Amino acid sequence: MKTIENLKWRYAVKKFNTEKVSTADLNEILEATNLSASSTGIQPYRVFVVENTSLRQKLGEGSFNAQIAESSHLLVFAAFDKLTQEHIDAFIAHLARERNLPEEALADYKAALVGGLLSRADEENFNWSARQAYIALGTALVAAAELKIDSTPMEGFDSEKFDSLLGLKEKGLKSVVTLALGYRDAVNDAYAAVKKVRLPIEEFATFVV
């Protein structure tokens, strides 16, 4: 499977070169990311693409991750800080439109979402939304590898600062994880040559009989 070769090729890059990711490749990564599964399908997070170098320098100040500023593009995954009736209404209306259904046909599903999601504390829904965003992070990382584009998933950033510089609070979003995209500087990145270490598959996965 080509995906396995590509996953062996990828690693969390520490040092990028100055080559830029093309718009066509970036759009493919975003399209793949948007195709990620999410619980109930509601996609309770958004992705922000930051290319502007001076903005990325500001975002990266004080972080140990030079990749925030030095990569080609930075994807910021931001989850909704709470889920509301409006989110559910918009989701159901979109589903009905796309599947050419009357909204009434989705009434039971909508009631289940309202009952399930709106009965929970905002913080629980935020944490749930963040977990959905991490699934998308994984998709983006695999999609990038398929295009032989390097990446670094990163939690090492100041989310308060990201939220304020990117105007996320106003949108009801909080940054949860980021993905730097670009091309490795194989000469200056010591990690480019080190062996990838993973558990033996027998320890990682158990066949239950």
Interacting residues toward ligand FMN by CB under 6 A: 11-12, 14, 65, 152-156, 177, 196
Q: How far is the CB of 207 from ligand FMN (least distance, A)?
A: 25
* Closer by beta carbon to ligand FMN, 66 or else 118: 66
Q: Looking at beta carbons only, is 117 or 143 nearer to ligand FMN?
A: 143
CB nearest ligand FMN: which residue? 156
DSSP track, 90-136: HHHHHHHHHTT--GGGGHHHHHHHHHHHTTS-HHHHHHHHHHHHHHH
Which of 41, 53, 21, 9 has its CA nearest to residue 132?
41
Q: Which is nearer to ligand FMN, 32 or 66 (CB)?
A: 66
**Shortest Å distance, C-beta 144 to ligand FMN:** 12
- In whole angstroms, the minimum distance from the beta carbon of 65 to ligand FMN comes to 5
Query: Which of 91/152 has CB closer to ligand FMN?
Result: 152
Distance CA 171, CA 137 (A): 20
Class of residue 60 by CB neighbours under 10 A (exposed 0-12, middle 13-18, buried 19+): buried
